[in-house]
């Protein structure tokens, strides 16, 4: 698990094909790897990757064909920057929101609007994810925990302050940029509990359940 609070920016040093997968080598100035063991998870611009090699302020991870196809990592090149976050410890502050590191889909930046105190982004989400995105709800974009400011159909708005723009790759986003999206875990479990049409796991709507309870009593 992660919080969506980015710890540092890493630089992709190389992407080496290994069959259908890719070995990703990342240089991460200021990223303390002394408390990371081989096999530990690191979120790289959203997707949770497994560290397979470690060094001072650097690590390597293998990226599967599925991850390359379904996230923005498939379009990365050597020299690109990525957001990095180590896995959450029980003693850590939860400054963002609970993030699993499992990307649900890729969105597209439809507009970047420069405001006086912030930058407004409009992002179009895949149709199957749009229903999970709510105004003032949480969403992870490129691994960054953010608050949704407005929703219109498949498109949602973000207001990003200068600190976040400087400390993450969000400052590099332009119209047409593809971004990893992870919906809030709460929305995912609520749908499972109630079903897509409001029914519970047993196929009964709340109204039918209440009626059944009345008859039984």
Q: Where are the domains of the chain?
A: 8-86, 105-194
d(C-alpha 209, C-alpha 199), whole Å:
10
Distances (CA, A) of 134 to 4, 124, 195: 18, 13, 18
52-71 pLDDT tens trace: 999 999 999 999 999 999 99
pTM of the full predicted structure?
A: 0.86
Nearest to 49 by CA among 30, 32, 26: 26
SS3 52: strand
| The domains spanning 8-86 and 105-194 adopt the same CATH topology | yes
> Tell me, which fold does domain 8-86 have in CATH?
Elongation Factor Tu (Ef-tu); domain 3 (2.40.30)
Q: Is pLDDT at 209 greater than 70 in this prediction? A: no
Q: What is the mean pLDDT of residues 11-34?
A: 94
Looking at the chain, the whole-number percentage of residues with pLDDT higher than 90 is 75
Which architecture, in CATH terms, is 105-194?
Beta Barrel (2.40)
- pLDDT attached to residue 208: 42
Query: Of residues 192 and 214, which shows the higher confidence score?
Result: 192
d(C-alpha 83, C-alpha 28), whole Å:
10
């Amino acid at each position: 698990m992660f919080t969506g609070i980015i710890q540092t920016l890493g630089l992709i040093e190389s992407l080496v094909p290994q069959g259908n997968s890719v070995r990703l080598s990342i240089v991460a100035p200021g990223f303390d790897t002394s408390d990371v063991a081989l096999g530990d998870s690191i979120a790289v611009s959203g997707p949770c990757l497994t560290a397979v090699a470690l060094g001072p302020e650097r690590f390597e991870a293998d990226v599967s064909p599925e991850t390359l196809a379904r996230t923005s990592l498939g379009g990365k090149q050597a020299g690109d920057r990525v957001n990095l976050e180590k896995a959450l410890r029980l003693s850590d502050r939860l400054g963002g929101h609970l993030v699993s590191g499992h990307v649900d889909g890729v969105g597209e930046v439809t507009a970047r609007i420069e405001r006086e105190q912030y930058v407004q982004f409009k992002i179009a989400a895949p149709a199957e994810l749009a229903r999970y995105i709510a105004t003032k709800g949480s969403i992870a974009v490129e691994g960054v925990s953010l608050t949704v400011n407005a929703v219109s159909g498949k498109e949602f708005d973000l207001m990003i302050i200068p600190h976040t723009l400087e400390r993450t790759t969000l400052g590099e986003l332009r119209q047409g940029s593809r971004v990893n999206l992870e919906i809030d875990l709460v929305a995912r479990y609520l749908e499972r509990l109630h079903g897509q049409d409001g029914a519970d796991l047993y196929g009964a709507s709340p109204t039918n359940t209440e009626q059944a309870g009345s008859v039984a009593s």
